[in-house]
Amino acid sequence: MKTKKALTLTKPDDWHVHLRSGEMLSKVLGDTATNFNRAIVMPNLSPPIKTTADAVLYKQEIETALIENSDFIPLMTCYLTDETDPDDLISGFKTGVFTAAKLYPAGATTNSDSGVTNVLLLDSVFSAMSDAGMPLLIHGEVVDHEIDIFDREHKFIELVLEPLRNRHPNLKIVFEHITTRSAVEYVKSGQPDKLAATITPHHLSVNRSDLFAGGVRPHLYCLPIPKKEHHRVALVEAACSGDKRFFLGTDSAPHLIEEKESACGCAGIYNSPNALQTYIAIFEQNNALDKLNSFAALNGPEFYNLQVNTEEVCFIKGANPTSFDDVCVGDSRIKAFAPPFPLFWTVR
């Protein structure tokens, strides 16, 4: 009888996830809380999490929705606006309410209309964050209809990120859900303790042609939008390299199916149910399973100055592909991510 292939990892953390609130939170939280020990929780609710008091209430809602005896730890973030109070922000960080602050350029993605209109308005906030050692998480796209949607990440580096880092060289920055070779090269040029990036399972799996394979594929639509194949390859190379500047962040973002399959479909991919299995498949395809533990469980805690998890999780490779059910929410549902290749790994 053939022995099944096994893979043991330090239990990973998710350094970028959307948990939503209300009934949707209660339906999707289990997928993240089961698969990850900690998660950086995005603050772009409606209304957003803009103050320490907001974050305290949201964390209480998450903890109330957890199943009994869950060890999952939500790490809260602040949604930056043009009016963010640096005193409240830093107080929230120093008291352990906030782990990081999130910069959404206004209008860049879902629930970002209250985001920052001009980063220069927040230089006093960034200075305070630098002094406190508080990480800044960035959705790195310019918001300009004159700039093609496929070029907005590259232009953000040139027009916003590089000037920002020159003004605040000690600011810890996570360039989130990167999608381009230029972003990979830019992150590699920075100090590992000052500049890092998260990479999602879907951006490792699909390119922009997959969005239109045989028709429009709304459940592969996300922001930043997937790019050309050579960019996807660059992301895979970065993730599989062992470079500690790159680590796991799913950017799992649930939307009801009718909000995706509509005349103006929402951006976001719900991958929490199978994110780890997708990462494993990618690393296996690239003969890099020996690098996965660093990407999934070690690099993130090192950047955030947190302890590495002590628990381990074991995956078994089966003979047949596994499937993942949609999540029912009321009379609707959330469709789980389906990468363009089979997934054979399951948790023991």
DSSP H or E stretch at residue 291: helix 289-293
- Count Cβ neighbours within 10 Å for each residue of 93-121 and write b for 16 or more, e otherwise: beeebbbbbbbbbeebbbbbebbbeebee
| C-alpha span between 43 and 58 (Å, rounded) | 9
Q: Give yes or no for a cis peptide into 86 (omega within 30° of 0).
A: no
The most distant pair of C-alpha atoms in the chain lies apart, rounded to whole Å, by: 65
Can you give the length of the chain in residues? 348
Task: Identify the DSSP state of 270.
Answer: B
- Count Cβ neighbours within 10 Å for each residue of 148-177 and write b for 16 or more, e otherwise: eebebbbbbbeebbeebbeebeebbbbbbb
303, HSE (Cβ side, Cα atoms, 13 Å): 34
Strand order in the sheet with 345-347: 5-10, 312-317, 345-347
3-state class (DSSP) for residue 114: coil
Q: Is 123 a catalytic residue?
A: no
Give the tokens for residue 62: 């998450």
Among 251, 290, 325, 331, the one annotated catalytic: 251
Residues annotated as catalytic are: 251
